[in-house]
Amino acid sequence: MRVSVLPLYKRINKGIIYIPMKTLALFSDPKLHDHSPDIPLDESTFKRLHAMARGQIWDAGKYKEKDGDIIERHANGQEGIRFRPTPATETSAAMEKLIETWNQSLQERWTPPAVALAAFNLDFLCIHPFRDGNGRVSRLTLLLQSYHAGMAVGRYISLERLIEQNNGRGTAARWKRTES
């Protein structure tokens, strides 16, 4: 898999992740490392990140309006429901609760920040608040949350590259969680 800054309509290969150049520039900007505590983690931030990651797409920055199952397609052509995300009508409330729990965990330190990061990311992906682009937003949010938790990992490593290199393992773990 590779990252592409091509317009979405020029993306043909399924192995390309489309992230607009301005989004990549924002997260590679050294100022982000210093000013990330000033960027609140709230619903408007998620929607802004989604709008930046989706570019000029019609639903950029908007929560999903319709329910949709995550479908698994097998090599033999069979399909099945992998999991059912949070219904569209419950998405905003689920996101509010998730963000509230994150902020509470940072203030009260009742779990190690790295565990809170992983749990938040998994829950975000299971809520699946956007029609498309949830993985991209989760990776951008993970970087921002790392800074909020006092871990300036983005200065030294590329979280995007680590996730890309281990993509299959993370997907398998997420699916396993939704089966139980």
The CATH homologous superfamily of the domain defined by 21-179 = Fido-like domain (1.10.3290.10)
Write down the pLDDT at residue 3.
39
Higher pLDDT, 2 or 46: 46
With 0-12 / 13-18 / 19 or more C-beta atoms within 10 angstroms meaning exposed / middle / buried, residue 85 is buried
Say how far apart CA 107 and CA 147 lie, in whole Å. 14
Residue for token pair 């773990």: 173
Whether the per-residue pLDDT at 154 is higher than 70: the answer is no
Look at the pTM and tell me if it is higher than 0.85: no
* Secondary structure (3-state) at 70: strand
Q: What is the pLDDT of residues 88-127, one digit of tens each?
A: 999 999 999 999 999 999 899 888 988 999 999 999 999 9
Count the neighbouring beta carbons within 10 Å of the beta carbon of residue 66: 8
Higher pLDDT, 158 or 175: 158
Write down the pLDDT at residue 17.
45
Q: What is the pLDDT of residues 66-89, one digit of tens each?
A: 999 888 888 888 888 888 999 999
pLDDT band at 173 (very low <50, low <70, confident <90, very high): low
Whether the CB-CB separation of 70 and 82 falls below 8 Å is answered with yes
Nearest alpha-carbon partner for 126 in 83, 164, 80: 83
Q: What is the CA radius of gyration of the chain?
A: 16
Nearest alpha-carbon partner for 154 in 167, 144, 164, 163: 144
Write down the pLDDT at residue 121.
93
Lowest mean pLDDT among 33-47, 59-73, 128-142, 152-166: 152-166
First to last CA, the chain: 29
* Secondary structure (3-state) at 149: coil
Whether the per-residue pLDDT at 162 is higher than 70: the answer is no
Write down the pLDDT at residue 10.
39
pLDDT band at 131 (very low <50, low <70, confident <90, very high): very high
Whether the CB-CB separation of 125 and 70 falls below 8 Å is answered with no
Write down the pLDDT at residue 140.
84
Say how far apart CA 149 and CA 135 lie, in whole Å. 20
Whether the CB-CB separation of 135 and 42 falls below 8 Å is answered with no
DSSP at 156:
T
Write down the pLDDT at residue 1.
34
pLDDT, the chain, mean: 76
Write down the pLDDT at residue 8.
39
DSSP at 97:
H
